[in-house]
Structure 1
Amino acid sequence: MLLALTACGGGGGGDEEPSEEESPAAAVAIAIAPEDGAVDVPTQGELAVTAEGGTLTEVTVAGPEGEEVAGELTEEADAWAPSEALANDTEYTVTAVGENGEGESETATATFTTVAADATFSSYWNIPDGSEVGVGMELSVTFDTAIENTAEVRDAIQITTDPPVEVRGHWFGNQRVDFRPEEYWEPGTEVEIRFRLRGVEGADGVFGTLREDVTFTVGRSQVSTVDAAAHTMEVVRDGEVLRTVPITAGAPGTETWNGKMVITEKHKETRMDGATVGFGGEYDIPDVPHAMRLSTSGTFVHGNYWASSATFGSDNVSHGCVGLEDRQGAGDPNTDAAWFYENSMIGDVVEVINSEDDVIAPDNGINGWNMDWADWGAGQ
């Protein structure tokens, strides 16, 4: 009797298929590496967030002071990775939010601590923040210790420009890397440098500490050509000749370097002691006027008050510098040296031609323009 009642129950619908309820959508699965509670985590190459069965809508990685780590989502929004290294010996909290195809949200969190540095390296650069420079300026970054991971350190110095132009870095040895475009900068270019060296391992156990943003603007174009044989310097600004001035260059035996050189320092007056550049006691002038440095080894373009006026434009008598007529005390604004000093800025180019010497080495000063673009950055 019980069996019969069970079989005949339901009244009138015995020949229909039973309905099935739709299965709920699977939740998005969020994975965070490293796992929660991890310690001694590498500052690079370890942190990653992924989503399976959905997309990531928000990822936040924050340090103890609330500072967030920059990162990027993939085009499919199913993975996130940091765009810079993490700080050493720091606790980070990861919060990731994702959703499935139905818009249902899930949140995952993890906390981990990065590895401590055995040692750190310091970084120094040559362009002050907010400065205006000439079209020949190169960014030169030096380090207080030898760098083994040169590609990682170079790539942690991120340069963007407006208008856009390709900028490459080139290593001179293992403690200096310089950056420049293929040709001189276009006047008016705005450049942003993002130093993201903090947490970058430069050598085994040795990490960077610098995380800073710097900007500079390229001013007007000025390129001056010194013809050592003709004893002249033609000053060209934005394609127009401003002035051609008589000069004296390096005497036989102490000729001026050929090549493109960039002004890196300006001194209204400075002392020049031959002993500091290998000339013994041949000269020691305490008040050289209107001096502008062109090389690390001591090449300057500067005023000269001790030679006769007839020297300029006719003879090469210097120890390798480019001399322009001047007056002692740097107080006469009408001299060629004073005029050139007032009309020059850091980053302007002075190119020497027709001298009986070699082309200056690209790392003797900020003079990478003397290296072919095909070789600039090659193998680094």
Structure 2
Amino acid sequence: MLRSGQVRLRVAAALALTVAVALTGACGSSADAKWHSPGDATASPGATAGPGESALTVTPAANAKNVSPAGPIGAEINGGSLTEVKLTNSSGKAVKGEFDADRRSWQVTEKLGYNKTYTMKVTATGADGKTYDQTTKFTTVKPKNLTLPYLRANYGTMLDGGTFGVGQPITVWFDEPIKDKKAAEESLTVKTDPPVYGVWHWFDNREVHWRPKEYWPAGTKVTVKASVYGKNLGNGLYGQQDVSASFKIGASHIAIADAKTKRMKVYFDGKQVKKINGKDVSAGIPISMGKDQVETGANGEKIDFRTYSGVHVVMLKHNEYRMTSASFGITDKNSPNYYDSLIKKAVRISNSGEFFHLADWNIWAHGKQNTSHGCINIGPSFIYWMFDNFRPGDVIDVKNTGKQLDPRDGLGDWQLSWKKWTDGSALPIPPEPTEGGTEATPTPDPSATP
């Protein structure tokens, strides 16, 4: 969508160690580079060099059209040096660029505009002392439409500058449907320190996620970039602006909620937390989950109150949150399942209305009976500690409810096997590193002895 506004995301320093599953769309250059641009924007080779002569090459060629404003745009000489290079827009304003160390090549260092005409004047001195002069004009591409990518932790939280849990996927959401997913994925890069192996997965034609094969190692530093400007993402849809984000993975916080035991065990960095506020929780925090009951909603839909089994990722936290049964179809005030309440310490773990939250009205059921409408009820002795210690990206793994979480529900990325996850990439999957790297955080086995 064409927009005049700009989204600005802080660009972090480049990280030393990199595992980039998505291929970069950027082009490198050197003194002997061969440059080509989209459409008919090929290089202008100048005169053919004879023995002992130099050859001046200007990119793009004279009168080229549909040139990508992201380049490559520049000039080079295979002997001698460039004396002066001046690139100007239609108003005569100079565009910034820089020479290499020996002045044999020059490249533009700022992105050009879409649908603009530019003039490049180049003067060079060959190795034989001969003077070369060349002037070219070219026009950049006019997009049919523009799209802006958003780098998000979830639908309510941007990634940049945050600290997230070991289950946090990277989500990129485009504000226009993407026709060429391969081109879009090629523009996305993920750099991590230490190296982490991961892959992109498209959930639809707007949203693509990146996650490691296993949970992130605690302490990982991450930078993600969407270098979409000047890229044709299909049918004349171009990137509006490059964006980037940097974030960090915090300590491993994983909770395993079991519908059979009505208990939730908490693991910090792989070790079970056995005391909370002086209370013994070796058997797990007593909880009450979704009851095994079905009711017919206002529109004839069947409403199953069981909590979804599967790996949930913490999304948003609310000190108070209004919850109403009307949100999932129960509007009859005479129904025993009707409610409209302001709930305290509510932590969202899916988009289908699942939270863990304070429930002081059914403490008798905690650890004994599942009575909720799908949420994880926690008593006042433990909910404040859970609320303070669990952040977006932390993991709530629900077991034994008989109803499975949809991978598209919230951040259900971990519901997909690695094979199904990699099948969702638009690019060939690079081989997994066999040496080095850092051990990822495993999912604790609730049946194992901590």
What's the CA shift string for 1:291-310, capped at 9, x where partnerless?
11111111111111222x22
Q: 1:141 to 1:98 in 2, by over 3 A?
A: farther
Percent of residue pairs bearing the same amino acid type? 28
Q: Shift of the alpha carbon at 1:202?
A: 2.8
Q: 1:56 to 1:369 in 2, by over 3 A?
A: farther
Q: Shift of the alpha carbon at 1:115?
A: 1.2
Instruction: Give distance in 2, aligned partners of 1:159 and 1:139.
Output: 9
The answer to whether 1:184 aligns with 2:189 is: no
Q: 1:343 aligns to what?
A: 389
Residue 145 of structure 1 contacts residue 175 of structure 1 at CA under 8 Å; is this kept in 2? yes
Aligned length: 340
Q: Shift of the alpha carbon at 1:375?
A: 2.2
Q: 2:371 aligns with which of 317, 333, 336?
A: 317
Residue 26 of structure 1 contacts residue 53 of structure 1 at CA under 8 Å; is this kept in 2? no
Q: 1:39 aligns to what?
A: 65
Residue 86 of structure 1 contacts residue 198 of structure 1 at CA under 8 Å; is this kept in 2? no
Instruction: Give distance in 1, aligned partners of 2:111 and 2:199.
Output: 21
The answer to whether 1:290 aligns with 2:341 is: no
The answer to whether 1:234 aligns with 2:234 is: no
Q: 2:242 aligns to what?
A: 211
Q: 1:245 to 1:116 in 2, by over 3 A?
A: same
5+ residue gaps, structure 2, are 1-49, 153-157, 275-283, 294-304, 427-450
Q: 1:115 aligns to what?
A: 141
Q: Which runs of 4+ in 1 moved over 3 A?
A: 46-70, 78-87, 90-111, 278-286
Q: Shift of the alpha carbon at 1:103?
A: 12
Q: 1:277 to 1:85 in 2, by over 3 A?
A: farther
Pick the structure with greater CA Rg. Answer: 1
Q: Shift of the alpha carbon at 1:51?
A: 6.3
Q: 1:166 aligns to what?
A: 197
Instruction: Give distance in 2, aligned partners of 1:197 and 1:53.
Output: 31
Q: 2:360 aligns to what?
A: 305
1:59-74 equivalent positions in 2, closer than 5 A:
none
Residue 51 of structure 1 contacts residue 98 of structure 1 at CA under 8 Å; is this kept in 2? no
Q: 1:283 to 1:182 in 2, by over 3 A?
A: same
Q: 1:105 to 1:303 in 2, by over 3 A?
A: farther
Instruction: Give distance in 2, aligned partners of 1:377 and 1:256.
Output: 28
Q: 1:153 aligns with which of 184, 187, 190?
A: 184
Q: 1:264 aligns to what?
A: 315
User: TM (normalized to structure 2)?
Assistant: 0.65
Instruction: Give distance in 1, aligned partners of 2:328 and 2:97.
Output: 47
Residue 141 of structure 1 contacts residue 177 of structure 1 at CA under 8 Å; is this kept in 2? yes
Instruction: Give distance in 1, aligned partners of 2:409 and 2:308.
Output: 11
5+ residue gaps, structure 1, are 1-23, 73-77, 327-334
Q: Shift of the alpha carbon at 1:38?
A: 2.7
Q: Shift of the alpha carbon at 1:91?
A: 4.9
Q: Shift of the alpha carbon at 1:153?
A: 1.1
Residue 193 of structure 1 contacts residue 214 of structure 1 at CA under 8 Å; is this kept in 2? yes
The answer to whether 1:251 aligns with 2:291 is: yes
Relative contact order, higher structure (CA 8 A, sep 6+): 2
Q: 1:330 aligns to what?
A: none
1:74-85 equivalent positions in 2, closer than 5 A:
none
Q: 1:354 aligns to what?
A: 400
Q: 2:442 aligns to what?
A: none
RMSD across aligned positions (CA): 3.7
User: TM (normalized to structure 1)?
Assistant: 0.76
The answer to whether 1:130 aligns with 2:161 is: yes
Q: Shift of the alpha carbon at 1:100?
A: 8.4
Q: 1:174 to 1:81 in 2, by over 3 A?
A: farther
Instruction: Give distance in 1, aligned partners of 2:83 and 2:253.
Output: 48
Residue 317 of structure 2 contacts residue 348 of structure 2 at CA under 8 Å; is this kept in 1? yes
